[in-house]
Structure 1
Amino acid sequence: MMFEFDEYIKLLAGLLSVVDPIAAIPLFISLTVHRSPEERREVARVCALAVGAVLLITLITGKFLLELFGISIPAFQIAGGIVISFMGVSMLQASHDRSRNTPEERAESFGKESIAIVPMAIPLLSGPGAMSTVIVSHSLNNSWSYDLIACCVIATVALAVLLCLVMADKIADFLGTTGMNVITRVFGLIILSIAVEYITQGLVEVFPMLVLAA
């Protein structure tokens, strides 16, 4: 039980840092500023459900897709680690990460009626970084018990997204820009560490002579 709880906390820390619902609060507020409180809650609910669904589908189909395209787990570890590392560096600088969404996509979103799924859920919250984290962790721990832990983590992350968006105004007022940037930087350091681990493990698998050389 302790081992499983440790795995839960480890995956939760990594996935929650990559999803980073705190960083989505400013965009959510700006996109829903002219909507009623009921409409904003509905957007938050649909967005959280979409994030959970996307990550759950990724968990189920990720390894199959890698096998379908003939991509090895170590190669995907390295690629996923690089994607996540770019996100981590961007978050450490508290700057916008283009892998989540581009300025053009954000501008287009202001004219949309429904923004819960695009761009909030995809690609802002459950984008390439979150998908890579789920696929790599599942591939490295291929067991039913770990899949159950991963499902619990995904449900927890979706709940965190819901709470952050429903309480977006209160969180923004309480933390302010500086507070949200501090949290984003902490999350950035966590996912940068995860990225280094993914890349290192992948390189060791691809180039086993690196272990012998060390």
Structure 2
Amino acid sequence: MDTEFIKIFLAFLVLMNPFSALGLFLNLTKNYSVADRRKVAQIACTTIFVTIAFFALLGEFLLKFLGISIGSFQVAGGILVFLIAISMMNGDGNPVKPNEEDIEIKTTLTASAVVPLAIPMMIGPGGISTVIIYSSRPGGWFETVAIIAAGLFISLFCYSGLMAAGRLSRFLGNTGLNILSRVMGMLLAAVAVEITINGLKAILPYVMS
């Protein structure tokens, strides 16, 4: 389970790439007090954890309810994640996440923390698809516990990153963030290939029969 936890955590880390949300967080909270900034970070990261836990527990049930095979969803999800990875390696960022200039800022602190900061800026369609894919693999409750535990740790990691957003942005700069995004994209491509291969293994016997 330790190895599985690490793999899932790294998949979340490279897909969510919390560093990409630093600019939005600073923009959202530029006129807030330190206490309010902390509250925004707490609400956003709690939303991330709840989203991951929800789809980890109910993801496989949703697929069965919609009549979608696990293999088909793995292939589709792997392709989506791979396209995100290619875009990140090209320096275009995550294509399924909004640009900061296109985001409508909500008037209340809680609303802004949930949407757009947590969803979809930090955990979007790619992240949710990945949670469902991992939750639908054989492994029973051990797999579900590993996903939820990884979700808790990535949420805490995101919280730490948001609280240090100002220092990290100054330290990394635009060049550092761009390089980091490209490295994340390379790692994400490897995750996407693994997901797609597992999906093909699941559906090919049915296709060939």
Determine the structure 1 residue equivalent to 2:77. Answer: 80
Deviations 1:84-119 (A, max 9, x none): 11211121122233312256751x12x533310000
1:111-142 residue CA offsets vs partner (Å, 9 max, x unmatched):
53331000011111111111111111111133
The structure 1 residue matched to 2:107, chosen from 103, 109, 112, is 112
**Cα separation, 2, equivalents of 1:73 and 1:186:** 29
> How far apart are 1:209 and its partner, in Å?
9.0
Question: In 1, Cα distance between the equivalents of 2:49 and 2:206?
Answer: 40
Confirm or deny that 1:7 pairs with 2:7. Answer: no
1:131 corresponds to which residue? 128
TM-score using structure 2 length: 0.91
RMSD in angstroms over aligned alpha carbons? 1.9
Query: Which residue of the partner structure matches residue 43 of structure 2?
Result: 46
Which of 30, 33, 36 aligns to 1:33? It is 30
Once superposed, which parts of structure 1, at least 4 consecutive aligned residues long, lie more than 6 Å away? none
TM-score (norm 1): 0.89
Give 1:210 shift.
9.4
Aligned equivalents of 2:189, 2:96: Cα separation in 1 = 15
Match of 1:156 in 2: 153
Contact 1:105 1:119 in 2 (8 A): no
Structure 1: runs of 5 or more not aligned: none
Contact kept, 8 Å, 2:24 with 2:100, in 1: the verdict is: no
Deviations 1:16-59 (A, max 9, x none): 11111111111111222222222111111110101000111010
Q: Distance in 1 between matches of 2:123 and 2:147?
A: 15
Report the CA distance between 1:185 and its aligned residue: 1.4
Count of paired positions: 206
Q: Which residue of 1 aligns with 2:163?
A: 166
